[in-house]
Amino acid sequence: MPVVTLPDGSQRHFDRPVTVDEVAASIGPGLRKAALAGRVDGKLVDTSYVISRDANVAIVTDKDPEGLEIIRHSTAHLLAHAVKELFPDAQVTIGPVIEDGFYYDFSYKRPFTPEDLAAIEAKMQELAKADLRVERRVMPRDEAVKFFKSLGEHYKAEIIAGIPEGEEISLYGQGNWVDLCRGPHVPSTGKLKVFKLTKLAGAYWRGDSRNEMLQRIYGTAWADKKQLDDYLKRLEEAEKRDHRRIGRELDLFHMQEEAPGAVFWHPKGWTVFQTLIGYMRDRLRQTGYQEVNAPELMDASLWEQSGHLEKFGENMFLTRTPDERVYAIKPMNCPGHVQIFKQGLRSYRDLPLRFAEFGKCHRYEPSGALHGLMRVRAFTQDDAHIFLTEDQITEETIAVTRLLLDTYKDFGFDDVIVKFADRPEKRVGSDEVWDRAEAALKEAARAAGIEYTYNPGEGAFYGPKLEFVLRDAIGRDWQCGTLQVDFNLPGRLGAYYIDEHSQKRTPVMLHRAIFGSLERFFAILLEHHAGKLPAWLAPVQAVVLTITDRQNDYARNVTETLKNQGFRVECDLRNEKVGFKIREHTLQRVPYLLVVGDKEVAANLLSVRTRGGKDLGAMSVETFRERLAVEVESRGRRTLED
RNA sequence: GCCGGCUUAGCUCAGCUGGUAGAGCAACUGAUUUGUAAUCAGUGGGUCGGGGGUUCGAUUCCCUCAGCCGGCACCA
């Protein structure tokens, strides 16, 4: 005699066990139709689930986030069903829900083609329209293994064999197709209406590159058409922000075949790049760092000593010189900085010693990993190594995290997530040393007031790290900054200082980067701002444009004046209509357009228009200069419009 | 590195089943002296990613290499 308590607190009494479906029906036919699943005492179940005892019950529909997940999960099943209909000897594997959609991995004798994809999607539509009932049943594990083997589904059988013996396995069937699944699922395929297959890709079985490659089909599914359209619009928006496209359109940089993964910086791009470095140099000066510069090319033995060659040798550029020596092009800066530390005798009084470098590093990244400026083979790190004693770690960590977060604010990133990455499988140093390093970093993070989540096994091979992740304007996350505690490399590379008792001691080293790779940070900035860099970063801050050639002298004068004040200003004297010039420079994302016609010349003024199309009216050159100076000084936290 | 796709003018892209290539924008030349997102007219421009093969003939079919794109794996 179950008593069902609904989310609004109301209760329903039944004189016999009831299904979720029946509960929904008892509330109303509309809800019954909308029901995708149930939540019984907090647990998600199918609508066919039988409630035989008193319970809290909620009906899950496509208005609930769980409902959408169930739709996606069931759509993944629908995909597998369609593939099996069209390609009976394809084998199914796994098909989870992911952000905005789902995928399903198959094993098949030949690759799926884009045409196959269209056919599969059509078959899915057909199966959805047929409104097949989705039925759940259970089976003992060993029986399930046999069952899937008999179907020729060896991957499924392998998955089930990995489930503890004696557990019951749930299977879901629709039409003549059955799959292993935990569920829950929608009650019938007719509930799946808005979906789209998006891409084909390869993926390794169980995510291990030593295993065979399966074929992955990605798809997206939504509760209604509008949500799908919004999603597609979001993809379009991301594409418009693509830094590779903006880089070309704004003439910032290019890459070419002869130098895969390396950047040719054009004048405008390099201007921004240098502005980033200039900004960081100011920061370093304020926070007690000293800039250094170490060789790009050093004997490979140094990298053997550090452990890099062993762990990353495959990913390093090596070069044999005519004198038969093998040199490595530096993939990172730390060993170089340790060499600088080692020159002369260091005293504990010198610590913490902070060496910073805008070091150009080269890494032979796997060809498939290259991606615009985001993943390159030649990049510049805003790297620093801080040599200190163990008991200075906390204080220094507080200072570093403050610098990191403050810097990000200057670039418009207020939303920063921190992750704690602990010891990886492949590492140097004893467990005892790792225990100390991890404990020290945790304590330091606590003292700095940082909340973090765990990223297990993702630390550097020489020490644990804090990872700083930025959230951009369209909600994407980018890992940029890092702070690593290293109890290993200084010792391996023979660094020591003299302590207060005249004893040799090995220092601890903090590795930290704020931008990470400047190339990558540049790309993130472009995408974050959709190319509309704030005035302090924009390669061209303003363009003076004339109406007719009667204003040429005045325009040239204004341009020179502003340039002499340190602003990046150009003038456009071309024999074109203002509308044309405005369009061009707006497309070039120039923050301010300064229009001069006869009126402005007569009154000694500028008419100021923003790239957003806002008319700020006429003002004197001096007024404009002052306001732009304030904007640049405040790093764009204030603009002329404010 | 692995799987799939792509590579045609500076850019974006057409080019059916093999018969040596087109458009728009850009560029260049000329006219126009113009008031807040495209003035008009004319002209030039391509070893169809590289190499090899099949064929009387290859941008088109096959092989191979490279790069790029989307994933996977990797990311000090």
Q: Is it the case that residue A641 has pLDDT exceeding 80?
A: no
Chain A 258-317 residues in 7 Å CB range of strand B = 260-261, 308, 312, 315-316
Q: Tokens 């995928």, residue? A: A103
pLDDT tens digit sequence for A184-227: 999 999 999 999 999 999 999 999 999 999 999 999 999 999 99
**Cβ atoms A608, A594 nearer than 8 A:** yes
pLDDT classification of A165: cutoffs 50, 70, 90: confident
Mean pLDDT of A250-257: 96
Q: Is it the case that residue A114 has pLDDT exceeding 90?
A: no
**Pair of tokens at residue A206:** 């169980």
Chain A 17-76 residues in 7 Å CB range of strand B = none
Q: Are strands A353-362 and A290-291 parallel, antiparallel or unpaired?
A: parallel
Neighbours of A447 (CB within 10 A): 14
pLDDT tens digit sequence for A232-248: 999 999 999 999 999 99
Nucleotide nearest residue A425, measured CA to C1':
B76
Q: Tokens 């220092």, residue? A: A507
Mean pLDDT of A270-299: 97
Question: Measured from the CB, is A586 under 7 Å from any atom of strand B?
Answer: yes
Task: Report the C-alpha gap between A499 and A636 in whole angstroms.
Answer: 46
pLDDT score for A639: 76
Nucleotide nearest residue A216, measured CA to C1':
B71
Nucleotide nearest residue A103, measured CA to C1':
B71
pLDDT tens digit sequence for A362-392: 999 999 999 999 999 999 999 999 999 999 9
pLDDT score for A206: 97
A361 carries an active-site annotation: no
In this structure, what are the phi and psi dihedrals at residue A43, rounded to the nearest 5 degrees?
A: -105, 135
Share of chain A above pLDDT 70, in %: 100
pLDDT, chain A, mean: 95
Distance in Å from B57's C1' to A307's CA comes to: 60
A206 carries an active-site annotation: no
Catalytic residue among A72, A511, A528, A609: A511
Distance in Å from B59's C1' to A257's CA comes to: 21
In this structure, what are the phi and psi dihedrals at residue A596, rounded to the nearest 5 degrees?
A: -125, 125
Task: Report the C-alpha gap between A177 and A134 in whole angstroms.
Answer: 10
Determine the protein residue whose CA lies at the shortest distance from the C1' of B10. Answer: A248
pLDDT score for A184: 95
pLDDT tens digit sequence for A468-508: 999 999 999 999 999 999 999 999 999 999 999 999 999 99
pLDDT score for A571: 95
pLDDT tens digit sequence for A52-102: 999 999 999 999 999 999 999 999 999 999 999 999 999 999 999 999 999
pLDDT classification of A1: cutoffs 50, 70, 90: confident
pLDDT score for A87: 95
Question: Measured from the CB, is A257 under 7 Å from any atom of strand B?
Answer: yes
Q: Is it the case that residue A168 has pLDDT exceeding 90?
A: no
**Pair of tokens at residue A452:** 């973090």
Question: Measured from the CB, is A559 under 7 Å from any atom of strand B?
Answer: no
Distance in Å from B22's C1' to A588's CA comes to: 29
Which residue, A184, A156, A209, A242, is CA-closest to A67? Answer: A184
Catalytic residue among A81, A268, A385, A625: A385
Task: Report the C-alpha gap between A403 and A401 in whole angstroms.
Answer: 5
Nucleotide nearest residue A330, measured CA to C1':
B76
Contacts of A589 (CB under 8 A, 6+ apart): A250, A531, A532, A533, A538, A611
Neighbours of A603 (CB within 10 A): 10
The CA-atom distances, in angstroms, between A110 and each of A120, A205, A214 are: 15, 16, 10
pLDDT score for A360: 97
A383 carries an active-site annotation: yes
Chain B positions with any atom < 7 A from a protein CB: 1-5, 11-12, 31-39, 66-76
Task: Report the C-alpha gap between A518 and A526 in whole angstroms.
Answer: 12
pLDDT classification of A640: cutoffs 50, 70, 90: confident
pLDDT score for A183: 85
Task: Report the C-alpha gap between A307 and A520 in whole angstroms.
Answer: 26
Task: Report the C-alpha gap between A440 and A419 in whole angstroms.
Answer: 15
Q: Is it the case that residue A637 has pLDDT exceeding 80?
A: no
**Cβ atoms A525, A575 nearer than 8 A:** no
Question: Measured from the CB, is A208 under 7 Å from any atom of strand B?
Answer: yes
Handedness of CA A484, A487, A490, A496 (dihedral sign): positive
**Residue A262 burial (10 A CB sphere; 0-12, 13-18, 19+):** middle
Handedness of CA A340, A341, A345, A350 (dihedral sign): positive
Chain A 566-585 residues in 7 Å CB range of strand B = 575-580, 582-583
- The three-state secondary structure class of A466 is strand
Mean pLDDT of A297-315: 95
Catalytic residue among A191, A268, A363, A529: A363
Catalytic residue among A381, A392, A484, A541: A381
pLDDT score for A115: 87
Catalytic residue among A116, A382, A383, A422: A383
Task: Report the C-alpha gap between A263 and A375 in whole angstroms.
Answer: 11
Distance in Å from B29's C1' to A183's CA comes to: 71
Edge to edge, the sheet with strand A542-546 lists: A569-572, A542-546, A592-596, A606-610, A615-619
- The three-state secondary structure class of A203 is strand
pLDDT tens digit sequence for A580-596: 999 999 999 999 999 99
Chain A 598-617 residues in 7 Å CB range of strand B = 598-600, 607, 609, 611, 613, 615
Q: Is it the case that residue A166 has pLDDT exceeding 90?
A: no
DSSP bridge partners of A483: A466, A512
Question: Measured from the CB, is A213 under 7 Å from any atom of strand B?
Answer: yes
pLDDT score for A223: 96
Buried b (16+ CB within 10 A) or exposed e, A172-194: bbbeebbbbbebbbbbbbebbbb
Q: Is it the case that residue A621 has pLDDT exceeding 80?
A: yes
> Where do the DSSP E strands lie in A188-266?
194-204, 213-222, 253-254, 264-265
pLDDT tens digit sequence for A565-581: 999 999 999 999 999 99
pLDDT score for A11: 94
pLDDT classification of A28: cutoffs 50, 70, 90: very high
**Residue A115 burial (10 A CB sphere; 0-12, 13-18, 19+):** exposed
Which residue, A387, A400, A275, A281, is CA-closest to A340? Answer: A387
Nucleotide nearest residue A306, measured CA to C1':
B76
Contacts of A476 (CB under 8 A, 6+ apart): A238, A527
Question: Measured from the CB, is A362 under 7 Å from any atom of strand B?
Answer: no
